[in-house]
Structure 1
Amino acid sequence: MEQYLELLFKDYTLQIITVGTAVLGALCGVLGSFAVLRKQSLLGDAISHASLPGIALVFLILGVKDNNGLLLGALASGLISAVFIKGIISKTHLKSDTALGIVLSTFFGFGMLLLTYIQKLPNANQSGLEKYLFGQAATLLASDVWLMVAITTISVAIVLLFWKEFKIVLFDADYTLTLGFNVKWVDTLITSLIVVAIIMGLQTVGVVLMSAMLLAPAAAARQWTNSLATMVFLAGLFGAISGVVGTAISASANHLATGPVIVLIATGFVVFSFVFSPIRGLLFKQIKLWKNRNDLKLMKTLSFMYEIVKTHDNISHPHKIQLLNNFQGYTKKSLKKLQSEDLILLNKSNWSLTEKGYQVAKNLYSHQES
């Protein structure tokens, strides 16, 4: 890490790549949150793959590799694919996942066909289009990064400006209609921003992995909060960190492509969040399950004790622990737990209910009878 930081302050190219991947990760995290919440996780995959024919067609028209021209072609192709997806969903009885699958396979198949044709041309060695499949962050220029910063700034400004509309459409589109908002326009605006973010990341992450870059930070952030604002912020933060850490690892090791490493770091955030999130994490769910089971055992033991005690006038009358052998739910640990909560008293081989324990058990028993 020390070597990387030292190199970062000295190497201008590394600075450019680091800023570019951080900005890309932040934008993908912010906009990916809306794709995840709209249950359109495959949208990023479909649009990124659908951008390939636009890249190939622009190269065939220009005859040379022009990054700006290729990205404009990818943007046009991505927007057209989004229109096709919306059209299939609205004009047919097909569901969104089917529409996304059809558009993805059709556009990507056409793009691969064009790439095969380009490879047979005399100027094929000038294309370098295969770099758009998996990305090559090392090709980022200062002008590319400034363009990323400008697009990110505009996109975030639009999100903040239409925050209320985006939020209402996400959670209740029908209610949005009753308020007089144009739901189709808002939906189109969100989709367009997602398309722009995907196209912006093609040069860095590539067609194949771009959907993971869009969705992984948002999926990780979703595990930590129920607030949209917090989720968007966390997703942007996770995406930016993934970009910086992925670039650092790629720069510190030989022959490691930056795009795949960034995606793996983002996936690491997802795995960590799925396990350790206090809201939805698997670990905390298991802990809660164990606690509920233990609480249930305690209450069953207390109820059994109440059955014994209620026949006596003196509720504090001691009873042999051996009496509990007829009840298989108790353990020495559960008895100590009940004592620590001041529900029972233990005296060598005897136990007795406290006043508090008697009232708790009585309430449990009355609920069971009702």
Structure 2
Amino acid sequence: MLHELVFDYTIRNVALGSAILGVAGGVLGCFAVLRRQSLMGDALAHATLPGVCVAFMLSGSRASVWLLLGAAVSAWIGALVILAIVRGTRIKQDAALGIVLSVFFGAGVVLLTAIARSGAAGQSGLDRFLFGQAASLIWPDVVTMGALAGAALLAVAVLFKEFKLLAFDPAFAASLGYPVRVLDVLLTSLIVVAVIVGIQAVGVVLVVALLIIPAASARQWTDRLSVMVLISALFGAASGVAGALISASGANLPTGPLIVLVATGIFLLSLVTGRRRGLLWSFLRDRRAAPEGLR
């Protein structure tokens, strides 16, 4: 299998693309989890679908660059709508997420159906953005994913202190003079980038799992954000590569769901054995702390 990972063109592309998705999703998912915005990625992923359809209708091409550009614009508009609803109305964030998710995804399904019935040339395969098709990744796709993920990770590295304050205490960050609203929009935009990186591999339905599960797993091991980010990136990359290799081993199973299942396995293991918050270690600490007569 290691030989195929190195020399097989398709397996190498799928594994590398999945690893890039795992790292980007793992890092940015940490901030979503800590800010209790786990469903933000889900809403933005579903909001990409109408952008994909409109991009195809305007360009007449299934070239990844145009479809991903349309997906990015649509998801970013969805993010701005969510922020506008939360700030400008009395509607809570969970309701705003549900509204944007359902409205944008409904519009996308309508457009996708209209394209299918139009008989337009080249429309076959657009539905892969719903569930992903990692096996179709080619080297230019991997390069695009790497460039987008690299830009997002660079932004996180440069603004790590600001994002850390935003995640834990936005009111304190505002009192220090930080532009909290600008940082909020920027962080949400970076989550959009992570979603765009992942929709080709796992689709709009499952991409949120790669944002949330590695971060939730890493949270069981540490209370330090910097360490959590590194662990989450490692778990995300491991899930991506392992899922790709299992799919390529002859099991004839879809790569995206396998990646999510591997990530879930890591989460369950972390939930039990995580050094900081795992159930086993929490039980042992509580047992040691209990008075002798209560043991």
Q: Do both proteins adopt the same fold according to a TM-score greater than 0.5, normalized to the shorter chain? A: yes
Number of residue pairs the alignment of both structures matches? 295
Q: Contact 2:149–2:193 at 8 Å: present in 1 too?
A: no
Residue in structure 1 matched with residue 144 of structure 2 by the alignment: 147
SS of equivalent to 1:42: helix
1:7 equivalent in alignment to 2:14: no
Q: Which AA in structure 1 matches 2:52?
A: I
Residue in structure 1 matched with residue 110 of structure 2 by the alignment: 113
Q: Which AA in structure 2 matches 1:60?
A: M
1:80 equivalent in alignment to 2:82: no
> Structure 1 residue 213: deviation in Å?
1.1
What is the CA deviation profile of residues 231-285 of structure 1, one whole-angstrom value per residue up to 9, with x for unaligned ones?
0000000000001101110000332111110111111111111111132112233
1:262 equivalent in alignment to 2:255: no
Residue in structure 2 matched with residue 103 of structure 1 by the alignment: 100
Q: Contact 1:223–1:281 at 8 Å: present in 2 too?
A: yes
> Structure 1 residue 10: deviation in Å?
2.5
Q: Contact 1:250–1:258 at 8 Å: present in 2 too?
A: yes
* Structure-1-length-normalised TM-score: 0.77
- Written as runs of structure 1 = structure 2, the 5 A alignment for 1:318-333 is none
Q: Contact 2:62–2:122 at 8 Å: present in 1 too?
A: no
Residue in structure 2 matched with residue 196 of structure 1 by the alignment: 193
Which consecutive residues of structure 1, in runs of 5 or more, have no partner in the other structure? 299-370
Residue in structure 2 matched with residue 253 of structure 1 by the alignment: 250
What is the CA deviation profile of residues 2-53 of structure 1, one whole-angstrom value per residue up to 9, with x for unaligned ones?
xx11222331221122111111101110011011111100000000001101
- Written as runs of structure 1 = structure 2, the 5 A alignment for 1:149-228 is 149-228=146-225
Q: Contact 1:59–1:127 at 8 Å: present in 2 too?
A: no
- Written as runs of structure 1 = structure 2, the 5 A alignment for 1:258-297 is 258-291=255-288, 295-297=292-294
1:56 equivalent in alignment to 2:53: yes
Q: Contact 2:4–2:12 at 8 Å: present in 1 too?
A: no
Please give the alpha-carbon distance, in whole angstroms, between the structure 1 residues aligned to 2:159 and 2:290.
Answer: 46
Q: Which AA in structure 1 matches 2:220?
A: Q
Please give the alpha-carbon distance, in whole angstroms, between the structure 2 residues aligned to 1:279 and 1:237.
Answer: 17
Please give the alpha-carbon distance, in whole angstroms, between the structure 2 residues aligned to 1:232 and 1:94.
Answer: 31
SS of equivalent to 2:205: coil
> Structure 1 residue 125: deviation in Å?
6.1
Please give the alpha-carbon distance, in whole angstroms, between the structure 1 residues aligned to 2:63 and 2:3.
Answer: 33
What is the CA deviation profile of residues 110-142 of structure 1, one whole-angstrom value per residue up to 9, with x for unaligned ones?
111111212212236633111111101111111
Could you tell which deviates more after superposition, 105-114 or 140-149? 140-149
Q: Which structure's relative contact order is higher, taking Cα pairs within 8 Å and 6+ residues apart?
A: 2
Please give the alpha-carbon distance, in whole angstroms, between the structure 2 residues aligned to 1:159 and 1:297.
Answer: 47
Task: Give the percent of matched residue pairs that are identical in Structure 1 and Structure 2.
Answer: 48
- Indicate the structure (1 or 2) with the bigger Cα radius of gyration: 1
1:136 equivalent in alignment to 2:133: yes
Q: Contact 1:51–1:78 at 8 Å: present in 2 too?
A: yes
What is the CA deviation profile of residues 168-216 of structure 1, one whole-angstrom value per residue up to 9, with x for unaligned ones?
1111111111211100111111111110110111000101001111111
What is the CA deviation profile of residues 93-124 of structure 1, one whole-angstrom value per residue up to 9, with x for unaligned ones?
11110100010011111111111212212236
Q: Which AA in structure 1 matches 2:72?
A: L
SS of equivalent to 1:147: helix
SS of equivalent to 2:218: helix
Could you tell which deviates more after superposition, 155-164 or 216-225? 155-164
Residue in structure 2 matched with residue 123 of structure 1 by the alignment: 120
Please give the alpha-carbon distance, in whole angstroms, between the structure 2 residues aligned to 1:48 and 1:91.
Answer: 23
> Structure 1 residue 293: deviation in Å?
5.5
Please give the alpha-carbon distance, in whole angstroms, between the structure 1 residues aligned to 2:291 and 2:112.
Answer: 62
| Pairwise CA RMSD | 1.5
One of 226, 233, 241 as aligned partner of 1:229: 226
Please give the alpha-carbon distance, in whole angstroms, between the structure 2 residues aligned to 1:12 and 1:297.
Answer: 61
